[in-house]
């Protein structure tokens, strides 16, 4: 016979607690915000990989991301609020406003503080515009915006003001110029009239074999133009041998200060890139391709979204085979595994390797990752032959390269030149020489991470493998030219501030090291031993190339420009 358990008296530790809560645990979503989010998302799938796209929709509609909207989005996507918040706050282009904070003005003016724009007076421009800001607009500093050839740059909403002045920016604001202006580009019909897509049709019809195409790329010695320089043909071959299904991702998120070549080609001849991309998909038998595009290139995004349906109608690609994903302002997403994390709707944190993305990439599948320019040259190489590409070059180097040149030259821009050309040859033959009143002093051979070289090394071939002995890299071939009016100490500080802002924060050497370096570099006198230790630690222990290369410019100042440290 069981004996009933007597109830413990109220207040006793064993007494049952009676809940008086009238609502579920946790923060409750605002019904109005939930309704607004549902109307905005409409029938769009609520998949996790679309989180960043959903955040863009909210930001575009309301101008910022409010706490109620983030909470409603989390509920709608069945995610923890912390997951949504951590992604929203990771990316620079998302304005997250706390509950009690005042929303920003409706219009944001971004002024680039990249090194090319700083040379052109962006700091003074930013200060002048800030004096005019208020309830109508705000001014924020922005990292390199990919328009270094027309520095200084300001963006009024999505409208880019080239060679910006206070007058031109205020004029754009007063005239309501906030949307991107479409450039003149070669349309599908124009591209086809010039022989476009004939090569792709030959591939799809069986007139060409994948192995033969890959062999041609290997013979051409085409290398990845995004910075790493891995052999393109070899990469295609590796991915093709992996277990299906396979995917592809395109890095169109060029964020290296001084780099703008991908924008240049996409704005002028997007179908040449698209044909190269579709041939790559065919060659490795990738079922879907994700194009990860810089948020600073809104016009290009609209062009691609307009032109892709035409390719579907022409039977060149399936309707769901190419997906355009919009970046949100994170330089780190130029690293391929960080880009993949972002495409999956997460923070752009680089992965530890191995495994490499060719084996375990997007959504756990083998993934081919190529840069825009790499794909841009596929058609030319296959039509003209491997010898056309490999036969070019100077100073013992092979191939062609697109050099993004900015700084103190008369004619900055993208220069299609032989690999191995020297910076002196670039300046004299392609850039119209130095600006009046400026003598060549130094240059960045490969953007912010490529280091700084003096004019005395201006005859070193610009290519992979030629600059490492000087502590420098060619990377994406972003060449910034300096004159005797520029102090390399100031240049290095600008670049280190960029790295400190763009560090993803995942690893301590980079997160702490870049900020520590900035604090040391603003001192009147640099502690060379301590600064060098910080740089060496970042190089040796950082997870990805950002931290590993962050100290390159600083070390070059010690090595080549000691006089600039003395003021």
Contact criterion met (CB below 8 Å) for 383 and 199: yes
Q: Which two tokens stand for residue 466?
A: 């030629």
CATH number of the domain where residue 540 is located: 1.20.1440.230
Q: pLDDT of 302-350, one tens digit each?
A: 999 999 999 999 999 999 999 999 999 999 999 999 999 999 999 999 9
**Contacts of 391 by beta carbon, 8 Å cutoff, 6+ apart:** 398
Instruction: Find the mean pLDDT for residues 268-272.
Output: 98
Q: What percent of the chain has pLDDT over 70?
A: 95
Report strand pairing: 107-112 vs 96-97. Answer: unpaired
Over its C-alpha atoms, the chain yields an Rg (Å, rounded) of 26
Evaluate whether residue 10 is within a structural domain. no
Same domain, 285 and 164: no
How many Cα neighbours within 13 Å face the side chain of 129? 31
**Contacts of 485 by beta carbon, 8 Å cutoff, 6+ apart:** 408, 438
Same domain, 469 and 539: no
Evaluate whether residue 394 is within a structural domain. no
Same domain, 513 and 407: no
Cis check for the bond before 244: say yes or no (omega within 30 of 0): no
Nearest residue to 476 (alpha-carbon basis) of 494, 465, 463, 495: 463
Q: pLDDT of 446-492, one tens digit each?
A: 999 999 999 999 999 999 999 999 999 999 999 999 999 999 999 99
Strand order, beta sheet including 440-444:
413-418, 400-407, 478-483, 440-444, 453-454
Evaluate whether residue 213 is within a structural domain. yes
Same domain, 230 and 352: yes
Evaluate whether residue 205 is within a structural domain. yes
CATH number of the domain where residue 410 is located: 3.10.20.600
Q: Which two tokens stand for residue 261?
A: 């070549």
Question: What band does 135 get if pLDDT is binned at 50, 70 and 90?
Answer: confident
Evaluate whether residue 164 is within a structural domain. yes
CATH number of the domain where residue 141 is located: 3.40.30.10
Evaluate whether residue 449 is within a structural domain. yes
Q: pLDDT of 40-83, one tens digit each?
A: 999 999 999 999 999 999 999 999 999 999 999 999 999 999 99
Check residue 1 and give its pLDDT: 42
Same domain, 170 and 286: no
Q: Per-residue pLDDT for 197 more than 50?
A: yes
Same domain, 411 and 550: no
Distance CA 185, CA 304 (A): 11
Evaluate whether residue 102 is within a structural domain. no
Residue 83, Cβ density class (10 Å: 0-12 exposed, 13-18 middle, ≥19 buried):
middle
Instruction: Find the mean pLDDT for residues 230-251.
Output: 97
CATH number of the domain where residue 221 is located: 3.40.50.11540
Evaluate whether residue 183 is within a structural domain. no
Check residue 566 and give its pLDDT: 79
CATH number of the domain where residue 70 is located: 1.10.10.1590
Sign of CA dihedral 143, 145, 150, 155: negative
SS3 481: strand
Model's pTM, two decimal places? 0.93
**Contacts of 160 by beta carbon, 8 Å cutoff, 6+ apart:** 145, 147, 153, 154, 180, 181
Q: Per-residue pLDDT for 399 more than 50?
A: yes
Q: Please give the residue range of the domain that contains residue 239.
A: 188-383
Q: Which two tokens stand for residue 447?
A: 């953007």
Q: Say how many domains are in the chain.
A: 5
Same domain, 498 and 550: yes
Question: What band does 100 get if pLDDT is binned at 50, 70 and 90?
Answer: confident
Same domain, 210 and 274: yes
Distance CA 169, CA 151 (A): 13
Same domain, 365 and 331: yes
Same domain, 553 and 427: no
Q: Which two tokens stand for residue 535?
A: 């740089």
Same domain, 208 and 144: no
Q: Per-residue pLDDT for 253 more than 80?
A: yes
Q: Which of 174, 196, 211 represents a domain boundary (last residue)?
A: 174
Q: pLDDT of 363-390, one tens digit each?
A: 999 999 999 999 999 999 999 999 999 9
Same domain, 112 and 88: no
Torsion (CA) 491, 495, 501, 503 in degrees, nearest 10:
-160
């Amino acid at each position: 016979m069981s004996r009933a358990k007597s109830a413990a008296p109220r207040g006793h530790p064993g007494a049952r607690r009676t809940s008086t809560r009238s609502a579920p645990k946790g923060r409750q979503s605002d019904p109005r915000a939930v309704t607004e989010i549902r109307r905005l998302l409409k029938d769009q799938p609520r998949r996790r990989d679309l989180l960043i796209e959903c955040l863009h929709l909210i930001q575009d509609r309301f101008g910022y991301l409010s706490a109620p909207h983030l909470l409603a989005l989390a509920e709608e996507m069945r995610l923890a609020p912390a997951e949504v918040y951590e992604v929203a706050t990771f990316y620079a282009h998302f304005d997250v406003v706390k509950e009690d904070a005042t929303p920003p003005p409706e219009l944001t003016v971004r002024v680039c503080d990249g090194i090319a724009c700083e040379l052109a007076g962006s700091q003074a421009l930013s200060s002048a515009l800030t004096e005019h800001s208020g309830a109508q607009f705000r001014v924020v500093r922005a990292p390199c915006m990919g328009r270094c050839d027309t520095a200084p740059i300001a963006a009024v909403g999505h409208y880019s003001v080239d060679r910006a002045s206070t007058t031109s920016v205020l004029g754009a604001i007063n005239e309501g110029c906030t949307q991107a202006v479409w450039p003149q580009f070669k349309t599908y019909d124009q591209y086809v009239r010039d022989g476009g897509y004939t090569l792709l049709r030959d591939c799809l019809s069986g007139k060409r074999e994948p192995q033969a195409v890959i062999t041609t790329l290997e013979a051409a010695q085409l290398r990845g133009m995004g910075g790493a320089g891995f052999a393109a043909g070899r990469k295609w071959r590796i991915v093709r041998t992996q277990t299906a299904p396979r995917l592809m991702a395109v890095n169109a998120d060029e964020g290296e200060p001084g780099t703008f070549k991908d924008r240049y080609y996409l704005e002028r001849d997007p179908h040449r890139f698209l044909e190269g991309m579709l041939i790559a998909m065919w060659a490795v038998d990738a079922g879907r391709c994700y194009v990860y595009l810089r948020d600073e290139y809104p016009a290009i995004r609209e062009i691609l979204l307009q032109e892709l349906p035409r390719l579907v109608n022409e039977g060149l690609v399936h309707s769901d085979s190419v997906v355009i994903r919009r970046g949100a302002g994170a330089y780190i997403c130029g690293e391929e595994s960080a880009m993949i994390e972002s495409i999956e709707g997460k923070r752009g944190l680089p992965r530890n390797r191995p495994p490499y993305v060719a084996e375990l990439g997007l959504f756990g599948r083998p993934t081919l990752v190529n840069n825009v320019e790499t794909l841009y040259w596929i058609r030319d190489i296959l039509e003209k032959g491997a010898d056309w590409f490999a036969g070019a070059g100077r100073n013992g180097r092979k191939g062609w390269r697109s050099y993004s040149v900015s700084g103190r030259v008369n004619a900055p821009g993208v220069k299609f030149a032989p690999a191995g050309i020297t910076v002196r040859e670039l300046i004299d033959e392609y850039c119209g020489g130095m600006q009046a009143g400026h003598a060549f002093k130094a240059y960045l051979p490969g953007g912010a991470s490529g280091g700084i070289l003096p004019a005395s090394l201006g005859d070193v071939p610009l290519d992979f493998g030629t600059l490492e002995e000087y502590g420098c890299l060619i990377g994406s071939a972003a060449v910034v030219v300096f004159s005797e009016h520029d102090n390399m100490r100031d240049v290095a500080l600008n670049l280190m501030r960029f790295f400190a802002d763009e560090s993803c924060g995942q690893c301590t050497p980079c997160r702490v090291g870049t900020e520590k370096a900035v604090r040391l570099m603003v001192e009147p006198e640099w502690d060379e031993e301590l600064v060098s230790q910080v740089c060496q630690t970042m190089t040796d222990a950082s997870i990805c190339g950002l931290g590993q290369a962050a100290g390159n410019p600083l070390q070059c100042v010690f090595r080549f420009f000691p006089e600039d440290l003395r003021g």
